[in-house]
Amino acid sequence: MGKVLLTGAAGGLGTVLTKALADEFDLVLTNRSESDELPSDIPFIKADLNDFEAIKSIVQDNDIETIIHFGGLPVEHEFEEILDANLRGTYHIYEAARLAGVKRVIYASSIHAVGFLDAREAPYDIHTETRPDTFYGLSKVYNENLGKLYHDKFGIEVVNLRICGCVEKPDSKEHLMIWLSHDDLIQLVRKSIITEIDDVVTIYGISDNTRSFFKVDRDNPLNYSPKDNAEDYVHLLPDSFGHEDDRKFIGGHQFVKKDAVE
């Protein structure tokens, strides 16, 4: 197997993935800032996603076969910031992949691509329409479709991972419905790298929670089989949610300016 490029490597989930995958895959790391948390023996190249020449050079010069794209802004920001980091930045990843003949792009999408689905109608499967709840969520929907374009037009294999609330252990009541454990994240990304696919695969990154908002088909194309359950931690969780949301919506609570989108 060829080299694997991980963007956003210095972020919280990027650091988790680097440490978990380093022994099995030939990793190359990139991020717009450095981090002392990353292993010093893995190649790291500092670059901004907005710098297309830098991204293109990283992909071409390192013979990258697979890109795990976790870079970009991880929460809601003003539209112009989302435009640069998440929309334009992901386009640069796909275009660099096309030019270098990269085989596969694994994209970190988000629960916020469907955040305005009615929580009372859950659980939902992967065939439910997208209902983004923020500019951030909207960028995830756009980039999922960008991947479909690059697959249909240029043959790049694409995996869209709709990452839910990924923390080591649940720490709020909402995680009973949306938790993704670190171990399940690692399993999901690993299978996204090694599993043979011939189409665009979109899947929810969520653990096997009793109260999950989303269903993961046991016959999913990646053979992803989540193991952890937030219910095991229910006795440790506070009674309230981690934000001002009455759970009418699955997401919907990350607005920078609430009146800007009403």
Query: Do strands 3-7 and 104-110 pair parallel, antiparallel, or not at all (unpaired)?
Result: unpaired
Cα distance between residue 32 and residue 92, in whole Å = 14
Residue 136 known to be catalytic: yes
Cα distance between residue 244 and residue 194, in whole Å = 40
Backbone angles phi, psi at 205, to 5 degrees: -90, 90
Query: Contact at 8 Å (CB) between 210 and 229?
Result: yes
Q: Cα-atom radius of gyration of the chain, to the nearest Å? A: 18
Q: Which of 136, 150, 204, 224 is catalytic?
A: 136
Cα distance between residue 113 and residue 166, in whole Å = 15
Q: How many residues does the chain have?
A: 262
| Residue 65 DSSP SS3 | strand
Query: Contact at 8 Å (CB) between 49 and 93?
Result: yes
Indicate which residues carry an active-site annotation. Answer: 136
